[in-house]
Each structure stands twice: as structure tokens, then as C-alpha cells.
Chain A
Amino acid sequence: MGISNAFDFLQNHVYYIGSFGLIFIGLFIMLVKHNLIKVIIGLSILETGVNLFLVSVGYISKGTAPIFSKSAMEAAPMVDPVPQALVLTAIVIGVAVLALALSLAIRLYHHYGVLDLRRIKELRW
């Protein structure tokens, strides 16, 4: 009984555990670390977690991909296409935002010679 309960729990929650695990680890990196590039790595991990969560909300059990590769395919078991379209664009925006953040980090390094946020706060001007 206990084992099948655990199996059901895993079946229903494994994607949620994965995505929120990524979100919390990314948030923890962003809150705790002082190195600017480490903070941006945390941001990218957080973003992956959010994307995984959005897609897993759109899943329906025993679903198929929303592509009519044969025109006779049924529409009933297809998963929700709206979160997938949202995540598709979010990933592409994510890489542009990461590149912009990294370019700001590079400029800060050229200006101050350090990447540590505490030191940069001390060195102001």
C-alpha cells in the first residue's frame, strides 16, 4: 500500500518537484552569492525551472504532441499548445536578456576590476 502510494505521488508530482527545485536553487544562488556571473547563472537556472513548470501545467496524461502529422489524427489526447507557445518565446527572450546582463557585468569588470558585489558597493565612484 505504502509503495503504491509513493508511486502515485511520484507519478503526479515529479515534474513539479523538478521545476520548483530548480526555481528554489536558482533563487538561492541569486540571494546568497556575491559574484555577479554566479548571480546570472542562478537567473538562468531559475528561468529553466519556470519554463519546465509552465509546460508541465499544460500536460494531460497519456497526451500526444499537438502536431497533426497525419491528417486523420484525433484531437482529443493532444496536450495544451498555449503554454508551449509561451515558453518557446520566453526561452528566446531569455538568451537575449542573459547576454545583455553579461555585457553589463563585463563593463562593470572593466570599470572596477572586480566582480564581487560587496567590493563594487565599497568602490562606488
Chain B
Amino acid sequence: MRAIISLFLISVLAWGIATALNEIPFGAAKTKVGEYYIGRGKEQTGASNIVTSVVVNYRGFDTLGEVTVLFVAAIGLGAVLATRRKKEKRDVEPASLVLYTGCRLLFPLILLFGAYIFIHGHLTPGGGFQGGAVVASAFVLVYLGCRGRRISETASKTVESLGGLVFIVVGLVGLAVGGGYFLSNYLPKGELNSLFSAGIIPIIYIAIGFKVGSELAGVIDHLVEESE
């Protein structure tokens, strides 16, 4: 009964959307603001990846709000799960030798790859969010392979706070020194397509990378730690 009603509702919704979609042709011309970002982004921000310049520079304030949402979600998860914390060492079955060795071999390589992604965020596809996720997945690998090892909570909290602080301080310095608005790009732009270019964009993206990586690793840690 419930399935039939839901199917009926969804088919009504599908009909409405199908008629509306005829007004949005696939592959048509882009919006005016997108046109502006592509045309001017190279000169105004100095980053060759336009998506990065939109995320960090043109819409940097949105990104700050988004990082805050991530932070609040991580705090909420800790608050929901924190009531029955068991701190004593659990005697866990050790992983097999192949898994243990492979995990210890791969862990630094994955960290290096994540760091590469968020350092080159303004030149190649990638950036702080993707690199942070890769770093967090390295910690997932540690939880799978080297059981019993934990990331230190104070270290992850410190890295996370430092990342957020660097973001806000760089933005506030732009308010004081640069164009007079939050997150204005006041450092020299440098040469296009070189590593030291695009002013404040790499600094902020590296801060975001550390923050996202430590936050997601903390989320995984909270979820794993409670298992009784």
C-alpha cells in the first residue's frame, strides 16, 4: 500500500520535472557569471584552475561557511557518541602479516599523494577537499590494517584548529591590507602555471586540506572507537 502511494507520488513528480526539463536544453550556453569567471579569473586570481579560484577566492566566504558546517557536524557526532567512551586498551586480534605490512607500506604513500593533491590545487584538478579526503582514507587504512593503533585526539584537534585559524587570519589580513574586503587576494599573483602563484589561494587550500583531513579522520575515529 505504502509502495503504491509512493510510486504514484513519484510518478506525479517525474511528470512535473519532465515538463520543466524541456526548458533546460542539455549543452547550451553557460550562465553570465560563469562566463565572467572564465574570462577574468586567470588575471584576477592567478590560478589556472578556475574551479579552485571560484571555490577559494570568488566564493571564499561560502567555503568558510561550508567548513563551519563540517566542523559542527563533526562536533555533533562526537557529542552523540561520546556518552559511553571506553578508554582502556581493547585486546584486538592482530591483522595478518600481509595486511599489516601492506598497510604500513602504503600509509606514507597515500599521505604523500593527498599532500600532492592539495598543494597543486590551483594548477591541476584537485584541492583541499579532495586531498583531505585522501588523507582521511589513509587513516581508514590504518584502522583496518594496524589494529589497536589510534590517532592522537589532541593532535587532530590541534591541526584542525590551526587550519581554521589560518583560513580566518589570512582572510582578515585581506580585510585590513588588501582591497578592503574579506579574503581579498593581496599577495603577488606570480606567473601562471607555476607552483608559487595565485597569491593566497594555495595557502588557504593547504589550510582547508589539513582541516578536512583531520576532521574526517576524527569522524572515523569516533565511529570506530565506540565498538564494544
Q: Which residues on A are within 8 Å of B, measured CB to CB?
A: 12-13, 15-16, 20, 24, 27-28, 31-32, 56-61, 63, 65-71, 75, 78-82, 84-85, 88-89, 91-93, 95-97, 99-100, 102-104, 106-107, 110
Contact A80 B30 (CB under 8 A): yes
Check: B19 CB closer than 8 A to any chain A CB: no
Bound Cα distance from A84 to B30, whole angstroms: 12
Known: A27-B10, A80-B30. A68 touches B42 (CB 8 A): yes
Q: Which residues on B are within 8 Å of A, measured CB to CB?
A: 2-3, 6-7, 9-10, 13-14, 17, 21, 24-31, 33-34, 37-39, 41-42, 48-51, 54-55, 59, 62-63, 66, 69-70, 73-74, 76-77, 80-81, 84, 124-125, 127, 129, 133, 192-193, 212, 215-216, 219, 222-223, 226
Contact B74 A103 (CB under 8 A): no
Looking at chain B's contact residues, is the secondary structure mostly helix, strand, loop, or mixed? Answer: helix
Which of A32, A61, A67, A71 is the most central at the interface, judged by chain B CB atoms within 10 Å of its CB? A67
Which of B26, B54, B222 is the most central at the interface, judged by chain A CB atoms within 10 Å of its CB? B26
Which of B30, B62, B66, B84 is the most central at the interface, judged by chain A CB atoms within 10 Å of its CB? B30
Contact A107 B48 (CB under 8 A): no
Nearest first, the 9 closest Cβ-Cβ pairs linking A and B are A61-B27, A96-B73, A80-B34, A80-B30, A66-B50, A31-B6, A68-B48, A85-B54, A81-B50
Bound Cα distance from A63 to B37, whole angstroms: 16
Looking at chain A's contact residues, is the secondary structure mostly helix, strand, loop, or mixed? Answer: helix
Bound Cα distance from A75 to B13, whole angstroms: 38
> In the complex, given contacts A31-B9, A67-B124, A92-B70, what are 14 additional A-B residue pairs having Cβ atoms less than 8 angstroms apart?
A24-B13, A27-B10, A28-B6, A31-B6, A61-B27, A68-B49, A81-B54, A92-B129, A95-B133, A95-B216, A96-B70, A96-B74, A99-B77, A100-B80
A71's partner among B27, B129, B193 (CB-CB below 8 A) is: B193
Bound Cα distance from A113 to B9, whole angstroms: 32
Contact B42 A100 (CB under 8 A): no
Bound Cα distance from A1 to B29, whole angstroms: 28
Contact B74 A89 (CB under 8 A): no
Contact A65 B14 (CB under 8 A): no
Contact A59 B26 (CB under 8 A): yes
A66's partner among B14, B25, B49 (CB-CB below 8 A) is: B49
Contact A92 B133 (CB under 8 A): yes
Residues on A with beta carbons closer than 8 Å to the beta carbon of B124: 67, 69
Closest to A68 in B: B48
Contact A99 B219 (CB under 8 A): yes
Min CB distance A58 to B, Å, is 7
Contact A69 B48 (CB under 8 A): yes
Known: A85-B51, A92-B212, A102-B223. A32 touches B6 (CB 8 A): yes
Contact B26 A15 (CB under 8 A): yes
Contact B76 A100 (CB under 8 A): yes
Bound Cα distance from A64 to B84, whole angstroms: 52
Residues on B with beta carbons closer than 8 Å to the beta carbon of A78: 38, 50
Min CB distance A63 to B, Å, is 8
Closest to B2 in A: A32
Min CB distance B65 to A, Å, is 9
